[in-house]
Structure 1
Amino acid sequence: MNFTRRTAGAAALATALMPSLLGARERGGAAVLGKAAVTPMTLLDPELRDGAKLILAQPLPDPLDHAAIVAMRKAAPPPPEILPAPAPAVDFRMIPGSHGHPPVKVAVIGAGRKTELRPAVLHIHGGGFIVGRMADTIPASQQLAQEFDCIVVEVDYRLSPEARFPGPLEDCHAALAWVHENADDLGVDRARIAVKGESAGGGLAAMLALAARDRRSVPLCCQILIYPMLDDRTGSTRRVPDFIGTIGWNETGNVVGWSSLLGQPAGQTKVPAGAVPARMPNLEGLPRTFIGVGSLDLFVEEDMIYAQRLVQAGVPTELLVSPGAFHGFDFVVPDANVSRAFASAWKRTLRMAFARPAAA
């Protein structure tokens, strides 16, 4: 796979948001299945190999403490420039936070045309709950708004450990409720509001769908969960094979991320209610769901289990496991065949959710 300047920049940003295993704890080498040694590099999709090497060349800070987290945020490359017209316009706003929480900054993309009601996506960025910025994903959301003729709202939720659960979730819920309450002014069809997120953003999207259901606040038509971070037990009390979770996000980062959000060590017997989607006892009544993850992603098992539970709860669910793909592969190498197929799959689910006529 030949890297363009755009691809290399995306890989550098992904490396900042999804650190590699290097510099963290040792994993004990290759796994052995039968007589053959299994390493992540032997299982990689060939088109993703250079992207994986680029990520692995930049080690994770050791230790990954609060000072290191702050340093990672400061060292992140400048966000990509907002796409100019004719791309959908971006309008930054401060909206009221949830009761007892501060105001929330959002970016409203593609609003203003009120001749007909259009669908909307609330997008939540990733970064392990500890890093990441709304600004990093605005250009991609502009493209999403243009391709689907929809309105996209990005939410600048507070990061952990400074803001612990439920702070980040409340920021996301405030943004979702604001879209629903102001649908007429935004030109949004209240019956066609979806949530989407990647990694920790996917985990927050899953939390948000559960909260919206339980609070009966906003009826969602769809949740698009891209390699979502769903279970605090992964990497703490539940280990993964040595060849999984070594490129991109890893066990060490996962333990730090979840511990930072929860305000307690990851993997404890009890967690705050609504904080960990994988631990929620009831998944009934959730909207149509897409879950996509790579076979080498740290989250592959927890995402497969969550999809199975959704199916068993009667939720229309599509699960895609992309062979030979690591965490964030579609962002690092967007032009790879496996990345294109991945994007086509989640877009198909979103189109089906948006296909019904707008509400009167």
Structure 2
Amino acid sequence: MSFLKLYAKAAVISLALLLFASSAFAVEATGEGIDRQQALNSALRSAVEIALGTAIASDSIVESGVLVRDEIASHSKGYVTSYKVISESALEGGYTITIDAMVDSTVLGDDFNTLSILQKMSNLPRLLIFASETGFSSVPPEAMKPLVHDVAQVFGEKFRFEVIDWPIARASYSSIEGQMNLEKAVKYNSQLKADYVVDVELELPEAANPVLHLSVVRISDKLKVAEVRRPVEKYVRLSGKPAQRYAQATEAAKPEVYWAAVRAAGKMVEYMESELDRGKGFRYELAFTAFPEIERVGRSLEDIPGFVRSEVKRRNGKNMEMVYWSTLRPEALFKRVQGSLKDIGVEKFKSKMDGRSMKFRWENPEGF
């Protein structure tokens, strides 16, 4: 299914979300459980389910059989901005509580829309997920392995991205030494074959709770498409060794992973949508070297299915560099360009692809 068709479907979901006209939605809900905390969690979940409403019930079942409504409701606390207890009492073998909750309907609607789209999308980008240490107060990457794994699970299992969990996968890439970072991801992407990196950082400031930071960068041109910062709600600072503080901080940050990942994935979806909906397609860099009929090559590229437009950056003699916009994904476009060259009679050429950068050279010069 194309992105444009997909987002046409998503528009149906968006219409259902018109109920969320204000940023806050007041809900009275009751929950029961074996103790007060379980009863409260049940009431919070009920509040979110009520806010979601019956209007979107028909859109809740997605292709993978996962209920988006259940996914959201299971993380209900992140959508309730405040609540007050109206009544509570102990029952025989349990507890009941009724609350008046304020649900953030804007965030709830955005997340429902994002999750519905992600669950229905095919050919999602391939993500390389790792931890970085950009600041003096960041938790070291070695201490971040459990948190990186949790982030990878959310993107992979919940949202269906193809994920490279770097702390786990690094043994399969023995030629890549040291800590992973963006520069290495770009340098070694012929091996990694990732579309985006998700850089996970946990800041540990002196006078405040930790902050979980997710940054999503497209490898082909280092374009940052998403950035999310989420403060950790509960954290008790230890005065012991750094390793103790790091372990406690990463454990405290785990409940924030889901919501941070939803926001990052949502921004990725928004970016991918805007690329196509504005008629730009996906942006590629194409380079042709030593081709005898370079103008004919340029004309042939306009006949490739998915072509949107192109812009020649440099052309002289037998060489040409261009920016090329297409609705095709990289692998599909690469094969189409190869086929187009053969269709105009170019039989002997070398080609290589690195993300959205593609190079083609007539015959087989050394060093290419």
TM-score, normalization by structure 2: 0.28
Structure with bigger helix share is: 2
Structure whose CA Rg is larger:
2
Structure with bigger strand share is: 2
Structure number with greater CO (CA < 8 Å, separation at least 6) is 1
